[in-house]
Amino acid sequence: MHLGRRFFTHFLLLFAICFLFCGAAAAHAVLMESTPALKSTVSGPDVPIKLRFNVRIDGSRSRLTLVAPNGSMQTLEISQPAGPDTLSAQAKGLTPGEYRLRWQVLASDGHITRGEIPFTLKQP
């Protein structure tokens, strides 16, 4: 009788069952503040964009996309970050209307989060 082995098999099975349904991932980046701010109104046509997160992020593997009032999407070029927790870019030549800034970041701990910031652009 290999009771130890049998017990261990049950134990491994329990491990597998528990982890199969656990809601765990790993730490995710949370947006702390942004320019433009959520649902704010800014002046155009050029809009500086800056997003600050609660953790270090991998800027080269993060993405910023601007959704225009007509639904067209433009990937923004991410500029040299001001800090390890910041994403910066510049949106140029925008026309007035309702925009949505979509962000996706890869945190230094290896986890991806995304979100959306709606803002309104008015004539300067």
Interaction site with other proteins (CB under 8 A): 3-5, 7-8, 11-12, 14-32, 34, 38-39, 54-58, 60-63, 83-85, 100, 104, 106-118
Asked whether the beta carbons of 103 and 31 are under 8 A apart, the reply is: yes
**Minimal distance in Å, beta carbon 35 to other proteins?**
12
Phi/psi at 18 (5° precision): -60, -45
**Minimal distance in Å, beta carbon 7 to other proteins?**
6
Considering the complex, state which of residue 22 and residue 93 has its C-beta at the smaller distance from other proteins.
22
**Minimal distance in Å, beta carbon 51 to other proteins?**
9
Hey, what are 97's tokens?
């209307």
Q: How many beta carbons lie within 10 A of that of residue 55, not counting itself? A: 17
How far apart, in whole angstroms, are the C-alpha atoms of residue 6 and residue 71? 59
